[in-house]
Structure 1
Amino acid sequence: MRTSSSSRSAICSLIMACLFATAFPVLAQETSLTPAARFFRDAAMIDVEAAWSLLEHNHPGAAPSMRDDQFRQMLDKAHTVSRERATHVDTAEGYLAVMSGFSNMLDDKHLSFKPTLVVAKVDWVGLLIALRERRWIVVDESTWPGRAPLEGAELVECNGTPVDELARSRLGSFRADWSIEAQRGLAAPWLLIDERNPFLPRLTECTFKTGSGSRVVAMEWQPISRDLIIQRVNKAAGIGAAGFDVRRVGKGWWIAMGELTANGPAVVAAAQAHQAELRAAPFIVFDVRGNGGGASDLGDQIARILYGADALPDASSNVCPTPWRVSLDNKARLESYPKLLGDRLSPDASAAIAADIAGMNTAFETGREFSRPLRPCHKPKQIVAHASPRVFILTDRVCFSSCLILVDTFRKLGAIQIGEATNANTRYQENRSQPLPSGLGTFAVQATVDLTRPPRVGPFLPSLAYGGDLTNTREVEAWIISSVIPQSSSE
């Protein structure tokens, strides 16, 4: 019997409801909740189970043969904590907090929860905080009734809790892996924004250190549109944009690649056109500020232009193919690539995909958990041309995913990292997202593992750190020409 999409949806909902009632029999019988509260509580409970199942059955780290005990422990903890939190949800904000917290406990921003439901307004006190050299500084402020200006003041404590402990408990529970400096910086502006998370107490009083001494300030909350605050949050967090160009700066050259996406090939083409001048330049700045990833091959192409065609192993030599976690959904993703990518697939890439599909089919037949054996593999060593230019790679806290691979490659080729510490991720790759049963969001999972890389990739720390505003390109250029170049020349 064939069923319509609406019938299948109804059947799926009925099955999920039965499973929910079985798993949480007492809560399923509650009648004191309003219909809206019940909806968000049920959604949280069902989506937590769905997110756990997605990771348990598709993520390489959850497979016993991978022996990634740390990932399995994180997944178990995230599941347990989130299930318990879900039993207390009665608002949209509670649902969002549960799912965001689940994602955050996995210590990999690739495993993200993306809501389709967005609460239009948040509450704030007219202050945005930035983390500057371990100090929590007010960097943006709106005029507030009865309050003297605080811009430039240092936040010391709130509700009697020292600011470092406060930030770790609030931001580190729902927004950031607190062990990574870049994520602390990106999350900092949200410290004095209240998203009505029911698992965090509202702040009522904070102490600031000003030029004239300490000030205790009552937190007077007011609503503000999320859309209005986001741009200011991004600026306070230091989220800049390199742009996309190849240009002269001082006596050297500047290559800007703000993303490894559709704008990247034009930068590669411009660099290729100026290859002789680039190689003869006294210095080159490769600017990847604001680069959250994309296609790492674009970075490899820039490396070959600057260092020579033999600077990296041949792109067609697939000596260390990445094993796929065996599952029906991962197989479907793999099989979608030829149609999805079409002419953009090289013959070598097409052959690799065909081999992966064959390996996946064999794994299904033999009961293996991966499409290929989990054997250590070592890629050919990089070869650097003797006459290589002096390259500085300019990074910020946004650098993530394929940007980390790019930075790692250039550092190994001899480039000097400057600017700010990068973000970090893991050896797991091939990200895809799946809708959650409630329809309120999606959850992402990785499908392959790169056995040539360590369990954690990054963060990469700069040899020369910039303490100013990395979003101000003119000031950053001046710093590089007046300070970085002379300092590196004397070493």
Structure 2
Amino acid sequence: MPRIARFKGDPVLEAVRARAASWLLLDEGNPFLVRPKRCTFSAPGHAPESVVLHWQPALMANVRAAIGQVAQRGDAGLKVEPFSGGWWIGLDTLEDEAQKVVTQVRHNQAALRDAPMVVIDLRGNGGGNSRYADIIAELLVGEPRLRAAQPHFPACSGSYWRVSPGVLAALQQNLDQAEASRDGASINFYRPLVTDIKQALAQHRNFSPALPACARHTQAAEQNDLPQVLPPAEMKGRLVLVTDHTCFSSCLIAVDLFRRLGALHVGETTDRSSRYMEVREEVMPSKLRAVSTLQKVAVGAGDFGPYTPEIVFPGVLSNDAALKAWVAGLPAP
């Protein structure tokens, strides 16, 4: 597997190896790899069996179908709904669409806080804006517990946005959506940020706010400094967090937050990201592909992940019914 995984990311990571597994018997034309001529299969209680591989051209539609069959990725969707164990919050992205979930959580806040269990389902979440996770967390557990759970960073630390027309357009869109939904907290967050980035563009600054001189020398904080004591949560029930191998970028910041808040982490091990965050996708001129870029850097924050769940889901995470039944039946803490 490392022969393929090393071209897909860091082969040490379980999430990278899992994604690379789909390509084990597919030839991408990589000039640095020689496709195998023979495979030996082994299983407990059975003698090894060697098979000669006969390579053939394949239609892209068939390749996509084969990859999907191997991957069997789950999708949390964007929803807030009751299930047999309590309430289920599906959050498969932290892009602008996540505002829909924030609105639903706010509308159902009383029921969520009174439920025996609330599940934060991050299957399929590749990142976006971690602020949506902050708002959901505060609506569930309350501002005092959220504030106490925040990690401690060095004196020279902070988050800095890259300054570019693309970043400005993305943040302006976030502000427009916040104003349309009358989300006061998000308006207060985005409005001064948009104003400063406009000024930064005019002043030819590279970051907003301006990057301090100490940023080049500060040491990253450890991400395992979990809080010892937290104020009581304003929700009565248990908080459960579901992740899969897709979780990356701002999704990892959300995972770190909910774990700090005391959530039981289940599912699959996450990916790992660096201090660069806030994913934005841009569709290429051909309209056939999109490219992802990271818009923000966290000075003093260090890397996030990989996060290993306390309880690994024993089934296939694309099976929604099985996952929900399993979560509902988790033993009491």
Q: Same fold (TM over 0.5)?
A: yes
Given the superposition, is the C-alpha separation of residues 304 and 444 from structure 1 closer, same or farther in structure 2, using an over 3 Å criterion?
A: closer
1:395 to 219, 243, 255: 243
Q: Which residue of 2 aligns with 1:371?
A: 210
Contact 2:89–2:118 at 8 Å: present in 1 too?
yes
Q: Distance in 1 between matches of 2:15 and 2:265?
A: 15
2:115 to 275, 281, 299: 281
1:203 to 36, 42, 52: 36
Q: Distance in 2 between matches of 1:255 and 1:442?
A: 28
Q: Which residue of 1 aligns with 2:323?
A: 476
Q: Distance in 1 between matches of 2:276 and 2:305?
A: 13
Alignment of 1:65-214 (within 5 A): 167-172=1-6, 174-210=7-43, 212-214=46-48
Contact 2:249–2:279 at 8 Å: present in 1 too?
no
CA RMSD of aligned residues (A): 3.7
| 1:227 CA drift (Å) | 2.7
Q: Which residue of 1 aligns with 2:304?
A: 457
| 1:425 CA drift (Å) | 0.6
Contact 2:113–2:140 at 8 Å: present in 1 too?
yes
2:61 to 211, 224, 227: 227
Aligned residues: 306
Question: Which AA in structure 1 matches 2:260?
Answer: K
| 1:289 CA drift (Å) | 0.9
Given the superposition, is the C-alpha separation of residues 175 and 252 from structure 1 closer, same or farther in structure 2, using an over 3 Å criterion?
A: same
Question: Which AA in structure 1 matches 2:53?
Answer: M
Contact 2:128–2:278 at 8 Å: present in 1 too?
no
Q: Which moved more, 1:333-342 or 1:467-476?
A: 333-342
Contact 1:334–1:353 at 8 Å: present in 2 too?
no
TM-score by length of 1: 0.54
2:80 to 246, 268, 284: 246
As a proportion of its length, which structure holds more helix?
1
| 1:417 CA drift (Å) | 0.6
Q: Which residue of 1 aligns with 2:137?
A: 303
2:266 to 414, 418, 429: 418
Q: Which residue of 1 aligns with 2:181?
A: none
Question: Which AA in structure 2 matches 1:243?
Answer: G
2:190 to 349, 364, 374: 349
TM-score by length of 2: 0.77
SS of 1:245's equivalent? strand
SS of 2:50's equivalent? strand
Contact 1:186–1:238 at 8 Å: present in 2 too?
no
CA deviation profile, 1:419-444 (whole Å, cap 9, x unmatched): 111111111135567999xxx98866
**Identity, % of aligned positions:** 32
Q: Which runs of 5+ in 1 are unaligned?
A: 1-166
Question: Which AA in structure 1 matches 2:240?
Answer: F
| 1:205 CA drift (Å) | 0.7
SS of 1:425's equivalent? coil
Choose between structure 1 and 2 for higher RCO, CA contacts under 8 A separated by at least 6 residues. Answer: 2
Q: Distance in 2 between matches of 1:431 and 1:264?
A: 14
SS of 2:9's equivalent? coil
Alignment of 1:374-385 (within 5 A): 374-375=214-215, 384-385=231-232
Q: Which residue of 2 aligns with 1:322?
A: 159
Contact 1:359–1:372 at 8 Å: present in 2 too?
no
1:429 to 274, 277, 282: 277
Question: Which AA in structure 2 matches 1:393?
Answer: L
Contact 2:76–2:90 at 8 Å: present in 1 too?
yes
Q: Which moved more, 1:390-399 or 1:293-302?
A: 293-302
| 1:461 CA drift (Å) | 0.9
| 1:218 CA drift (Å) | 0.7
SS of 2:160's equivalent? coil
| 1:391 CA drift (Å) | 0.4
| 1:219 CA drift (Å) | 0.4
Given the superposition, is the C-alpha separation of residues 324 and 371 from structure 1 closer, same or farther in structure 2, using an over 3 Å criterion?
A: farther
Contact 2:86–2:116 at 8 Å: present in 1 too?
yes
| 1:212 CA drift (Å) | 4.3
| 1:254 CA drift (Å) | 1.6
Contact 1:324–1:360 at 8 Å: present in 2 too?
no
| 1:354 CA drift (Å) | 3.2
Q: Which residue of 1 aligns with 2:255?
A: 407
Question: Which AA in structure 2 matches 1:425?
Answer: S
Contact 1:238–1:469 at 8 Å: present in 2 too?
yes
Q: Distance in 1 between matches of 2:133 and 2:160?
A: 23
Question: Which AA in structure 2 matches 1:223?
Answer: P
SS of 2:299's equivalent? coil
Q: Distance in 2 between matches of 1:263 and 1:324?
A: 21
Q: Distance in 2 between matches of 1:267 and 1:433?
A: 20
CA deviation profile, 1:166-220 (whole Å, cap 9, x unmatched): x212331x11311211111111111111122222112111111256422111101
Contact 1:207–1:216 at 8 Å: present in 2 too?
yes
Q: Which residue of 2 aligns with 1:68?
A: none
Given the superposition, is the C-alpha separation of residues 274 and 363 from structure 1 closer, same or farther in structure 2, using an over 3 Å criterion?
A: closer
CA deviation profile, 1:16-68 (whole Å, cap 9, x unmatched): xxxxxxxxxxxxxxxxxxxxxxxxxxxxxxxxxxxxxxxxxxxxxxxxxxxxx
